[in-house]
Chains A and B, each alone.
Chain A
Amino acid sequence: DAKTTQPNSMESNEEEPVHLPCNHSTISGTDYIHWYRQLPSQGPEYVIHGLTSNVNNRMASLAIAEDRKSSTLILHRATLRDAAVYYCILRDVGEYGNKLVFGAGTILRVKS
């Protein structure tokens, strides 16, 4: 399985942008980069995903390096509700398709 590396934790001030990095140097040409987040005692929530081009949605932006060996999840204005564990995952195409293998993720703390 292709692996990802994320910082253990990051801290941000409320209303400021947050850049969450992810390294995936062994990514293959057909791996999608997925981001999920998990609030305490809840199931993960889909945030965004991309393949080669940068992506934007109502929650966040995803900036993908030209060589695809790294990516950055951008929260444009952090709020207290964005405090969560953020997981960067390369989609692994298993026999029955597309299982997600979670790493340790980044704990994001947001200060008011």
Chain B
Amino acid sequence: GAVVSQHPSRVICKSGTSVKIECRSLDFQATTMFWYRQFPKQSLMLMATSNEGSKATYEQGVEKDKFLINHASLTLSTLTVASAHPEDSSFYICSARDPGGGRGDTQYFGPGTRLTVL
């Protein structure tokens, strides 16, 4: 299947710093990528839909000024957590939609990024 990577896999930072997470589709072009957040023992929560060349669409309750998304190319989307605080500590997961995958619009997920804010 298609491969999606994320970098870094884990990051620990001090409160108030900004953290950038990269999501790459390695063997297909993804016009649409999605960002999720997952707290311990909870399900994935969709944060936003990232579209190449246009502004991201955020889910209700997700602050767009706090979680900055840039989808500058067909293989790269970035999520920047601005001025991170301990409550932003979570597992961040991206996915990419492969419209040409012949699987009815299957999404492929990255391995996730564990963010810990001290």
Bitwise interface map of A from 24 to 67 toward B, beta carbon under 8 Å scored 1, else 0: 00000000101010100111111001010000000000000000
Q: Which residues of A contact B111 (CB under 8 A)?
A: 42-43
Nearest B-chain residue to A94, judged by Cβ: B49
Size class of A's contact patch?
Answer: 20 to 34
Q: A41-B112, A44-B93 are in contact. Are A96 and B51 (CB under 8 A)?
A: yes
Q: Which residues of A contact B97 (CB under 8 A)?
A: 97-98
Question: Are B105 and A44 neighbours in the complex by a CB distance under 8 Å?
Answer: no
Q: Number of contact residues on B: which range applies?
A: 20 to 34
**Cα A101 to Cα B108 with chains together (Å):** 14
Q: Could you tell me the dominant secondary structure of chain B's interface residues?
A: strand
| Bound: A87/B37 CA distance, A | 16
Cβ-defined contact, A102 with B112, below 8 A: no
Task: Give CA–CA (A104, B38) in the complex, Å.
Answer: 11
Chain A, interface SS category: loop
Tell me, yes or no, whether B107 is within 8 Å of chain A by CB: yes
A96 touches B44 (CB 8 A): no
**Pair A43/B49 contact, Cβ less than 8 Å:** no
In whole angstroms, how far apart are the Cα atoms of A102 and B43 in the complex? 7
Q: Residue B61 at the A interface, CB < 8 A?
A: no
